Structures are given as structure tokens and as C-alpha cells.
Structure 1
Amino acid sequence: MELETFKITVLPLREKMFNFSRKLAEDTSDAEDVVQEAFLKLWNIRDKLDEYDSVEALAMMIVRNLTLDKLRKRRPQGPELDNLSLDSGTMNPAERLEQQDVVACVRRLIDRLPSLQQTIIRMKDVEGYEVAEIAEITGTQPEAIRVNLSRARKKIREQYLQLNGQRI
């Protein structure tokens, strides 16, 4: 795609791209940054733009992904699973060690889950994302997020109880 064609095809999408990003990010300066990044990405792939059925759809997808990436980076991260503590201030060393063992066991059980369930349970229970946010980030329906989260929690609970039953 030549410069003139790029100007005619892509640059008029600026307002639509900006409004879409601003709705997602709820921040004007972030939306401006995203639109600029999107234009750069589109310019870098200008030779391949003719292969797409809709350059507008591609531009909006790029804006969506860049905005979501920016939101993820801006969002405060939750505590690491290792650092989670149920400490009431009165734990003795044996209780503290047992708690660390439980956390390590739960981490191993999460690692055994299917990748989508791992992602969902970490985003929801560790990082504190809401179901709607997880659905938007993963591109999955909220109902599917709830189902996968429920199945993941149930599987971890069953496996944990099974492991504890074997220890007793």
C-alpha cells in the first residue's frame, strides 16, 4: 500500500479508533497513545494491508488489543501466591510451615489444570480481576469464565482433599 492509499484508507479511521480506545480505557491520554501505536503497527504492515478484507476491522482489533495490554500493565498486580498469608499474628513456626506447605500444594494443583482454567483462576483469585475483565481479556464469554472457574476450584478442592485424605 502506497502512502497516498494509506492516508485515504487508514487515517480517516483515527476518530473511530480513538473513541473505541477511550471507551475501553476510560482515559483520553491512554487512548491517544494507543491510536498512535496502532498507526505505527498499521504503517509497518502497510505492504500486507491489501490482503485484508477490512482494514478498518484490523485497525479496530489492533486498537482493542493495545488498549487491553495497556490496561493490564496499569492494573496493580495481586500478591504472589507464595506471599499470601492467613497470619493472625499468633502463628507458631509449625503452623507457619504447614501454611507454606498448603500454599505450595495448591500451587502445584493449579499447575496441573488445563491452561485456560489456570489462567482464569490466577486472574480471578490471585490477581483480583473481575469476571467481565477476564472475559474481555481472554475473548471468552462471561458464562464460560464462571463455568471454568467453578470447575477449576472444584477440581483443586477435590484433589486437595484427596491428598489430605492420603496423608491422614
Structure 2
Amino acid sequence: MTEETSDAEDIVQEAFLKLWRMREKLDEYRSIDALATEIVKNLCIDRWKSPVHASVGLDEIKVLSGWDNPEQTLVANDQVQLIGKIMETLPPLQQTIIRMKDIEGYESEEIAEITGCDIQAVRMNLSRARKRVREVFLQLTNERKENQNENRRFA
């Protein structure tokens, strides 16, 4: 239904979390398989409806940014990829929370429910994750600029 393995894995994980949270009420359902299928179907539909879930390619970055300059578009794409790599270095819970909040568009309350954390823990982890991504991003981009300036001096 998603045509993307990673999206499908995320949806299945969310479905399992939903089933786990409602584990004490599962006896009320005649078919847990049917319930699980319905949950997965609804999660897929939610993902399709949400514009936040759409993958963004170079053409979309250009359109979204309003840039006609291919160089600016490539720089923006490089920055998006760098941020993605930085996010991969975060602790797993922070990765999950920042992805759910900033990429998938979940509300903090929904994230708390899905992850099993209290709302304050979600906010704290989100703040720490954003701060770390910002710090590393600025550090790496400043290093790149310094290297470019140094290369220009020697050229």
C-alpha cells in the first residue's frame, strides 16, 4: 500500500504499538487479524492524506524554495541529506520523536501515546534532538565553508 519498504515498516511498527496499548481490550474483538488489518489500512490512509509524508525530490525543493538557480537547489538538497545523516546519529528515542514531530507531523500528545513516554519526556527529547542537530549542522557547515575558503586561497 505504501510502495516504500521503510514506510511499510514504520506503519507496521505503529500498528503493533497501537495493538500493544490496547492489549487488555483485545478480547472484545472477534478477530484480532481483522483489527490489525484495519489499523494498518487506516495508518496507510493517514499517511497518504498527510502532505508532510510526501517524499521531496530535487524538483519539489526547487518549487518549494522558489529558487530557479540549480546551485541553490543542490545546496538545499545537500543540507537536507546532511540533516538526515545527523539525525541518524541521535539516540533511538530522540530519532523517533524528532522524525514523528518534524517530518511526519504528529502532535506531541500522539507521540507520547505511541512511544509510551509522558508528554514532558517527549518535549525534552525533542528539544535535545533539535539542539543537537542544529549544533552539529552548524559545526559541519562552518567547517565546510572554512575548507572552501582555504582551497580558494591556494587555488
**Could you list the per-position Cα deviations for residues 105-147 of structure 1 after superposition, in whole angstroms to 9, with x for gaps in the alignment?**
0000011111111111111101100000111111111111000
Question: Structure 1 residues 110, 147: closer, same or farther in 2, change over 3 A?
Answer: same
Structure of larger gyration radius: 1
Aligned to 1:109: 86
1:92-107 → structure 2 map (5 Å cutoff): 92-107=69-84
Task: Establish whether residue 75 from structure 1 lines up as the match of residue 46 from structure 2.
Answer: yes
Q: Answer yes or no: is the 8 Å Cα contact 1:82–1:103 preserved in 2.
A: no
Structure 1 unaligned segments of length 5 or more: list them. Answer: 1-23, 25-33, 45-62
1:76-155 → structure 2 map (5 Å cutoff): 76=47, 77=50, 78-80=53-55, 85=61, 87-155=64-132
Structure 2 unaligned segments of length 5 or more: list them. Answer: 1-17, 19-24, 146-155
Q: 2: CA distance between counterparts of 1:137 and 1:70?
A: 17
Q: Answer yes or no: is the 8 Å Cα contact 2:67–2:73 preserved in 1.
A: no
Q: TM-score, normalised by structure 1?
A: 0.56
Aligned to 2:152: none
Question: Structure 1 residues 70, 143: closer, same or farther in 2, change over 3 A?
Answer: farther
Q: 1: CA distance between counterparts of 2:30 and 2:55?
A: 36
Q: 2: CA distance between counterparts of 1:91 and 1:120?
A: 34
Q: TM-score, normalised by structure 2?
A: 0.61
Q: 1: CA distance between counterparts of 2:38 and 2:114?
A: 10
- Residue identity over aligned pairs, in percent, reads 41
Q: 2: CA distance between counterparts of 1:107 and 1:92?
A: 23
Displaced runs of 4+ in structure 1, greater than 2 A? 34-41, 65-74, 79-91
Aligned to 1:19: none
